[in-house]
Structure 1
């Protein structure tokens, strides 16, 4: 798939979908950068697993909302691998509560990490992506950004905001031949899903036409395709991986 000698940075990739994306891209020959904010041990475990399979990986600490830390990460990656070819804005949090009870702090925190974090990282690595022969910007959003969800006004707003960011940057990157796309997973088999009571999971599954949750591998393989040279004529798109929830 043409990932040899390409450097891919995945924010928030010490666990969940992010770690799955890192493993998928490393398996295809990429130099993978596993970004984390605080969980160094978990990030190193992902990197060790990649190395054991013969892949190339490094870990890089940075809070995606902190411009100085992101700039320091950029230098660290540049020293190790050179310019970044693929940036995947995956880092995100959720602080769920009904809107009538939501505080300004709860709203601001989710917007800051999930949306402003994508801005900060993209701003820092924008020139790398624009100048790369096959530059790729990929934002990880959510079906919640399209449909909304009970108790997730802040999360839905942030994930919806990524659609506009993605499409605008697709226009601005087009002159250089680089692309900007968004992948919007539905409910995926992660630790977050495991924490939901079984009766609620059954209700959610009943609303998915395919009748099941996505696997991390299914989301990661979609990201891998969009990051590949084979997807060079796809830009400004939101790719849904949600089992038909939008039908």
Structure 2
């Protein structure tokens, strides 16, 4: 009997791969036999090290670089992925940016930077990938959102807005592209990654974990299996959904 959750031989593009969550997502797909495109922007050393690690475990990889907010750059790294590994079966829109800023203090430039990376980037990369999926008759897109899309958070209005936008975009994409291409989202709670480490002090960590059933920060390896599951045939009847992996911070 075949394993409905197997991803063996499928080509997966993970944007923002050198981040803490991105690395673990790549590792999970590699463990399941997928070919992994490791996307980065200005993190060549980390991306190369990840590729060496995955290839040592038998995975086929390629490292691609480009700005997810740049139309032509995204087209180029999508094409480079397919030249090296074949048509993209799974896209994980993981590239993200998070910076603290209060509404009364935030500049328009700061607002637009977060929205550009966290929301525009999802649209741009998806736009270059999903046409091929439609032509081939199959594909899966997983967009990384956040529990803050539902809860909101003081000092992170631009991030909350962008991640809420990702959920709306996910639902719209699911309706437009399904059933051929399945589009879903994963909304993690507070996860220990380099990005959160740079933004969270002890007090903010206490605040973010106080309302969690789990009572602690999550780990990237607790999120990655959910992403891989949504990409697999085991999730074949799941369209336009948000899988909350948040330690009980949001129950939906």
TM tier relative to shorter chain: over 0.9
CA distance in structure 2 between the partners assigned to 1:184 and 1:132 by the alignment: 28
Match of 2:63 in 1: 59
**Mind listing any 5+ residue stretches in structure 1 that lack a counterpart?**
none
Give the TM-score of the pair, scaled to structure 1: 0.95
Which one of the candidate residues 179, 182, 186 is aligned to 1:179? Answer: 182
1:192–1:78 distance in 2 versus 1, CA, 3 Å: closer
Match of 1:194 in 2: 197
Q: 1:188 Cα shift?
A: 0.6
- Is 1:117 the equivalent of 2:121? yes
Q: 1:191 Cα shift?
A: 2.0
User: Does the 8 Å contact 1:134/1:232 carry over to 2?
Assistant: no
Q: 1:53 Cα shift?
A: 1.4
- Is 1:33 the equivalent of 2:40? no
User: Does the 8 Å contact 2:62/2:85 carry over to 1?
Assistant: no
CA distance in structure 2 between the partners assigned to 1:49 and 1:18 by the alignment: 14
C-alpha offsets along residues 40-63 of structure 1, whole Å, 9 cap, x if unaligned? 111111111101112121110010
Q: Secondary structure at the match of 1:212?
A: coil
**Mind listing any 5+ residue stretches in structure 2 that lack a counterpart?**
none
Give the TM-score of the pair, scaled to structure 2: 0.93
- Is 1:108 the equivalent of 2:121? no
CA-based RMSD of the aligned residues comes to 1.3
C-alpha offsets along residues 172-202 of structure 1, whole Å, 9 cap, x if unaligned? 12142x2000000000121234343334323
User: Does the 8 Å contact 2:61/2:85 carry over to 1?
Assistant: no
Name segments (4+ residues, structure 1) moved above 6 Å: none
Q: Secondary structure at the match of 1:9?
A: strand
Count of residue correspondences: 246
User: Does the 8 Å contact 1:6/1:85 carry over to 2?
Assistant: yes
Q: Secondary structure at the match of 1:99?
A: coil
Match of 2:20 in 1: 16
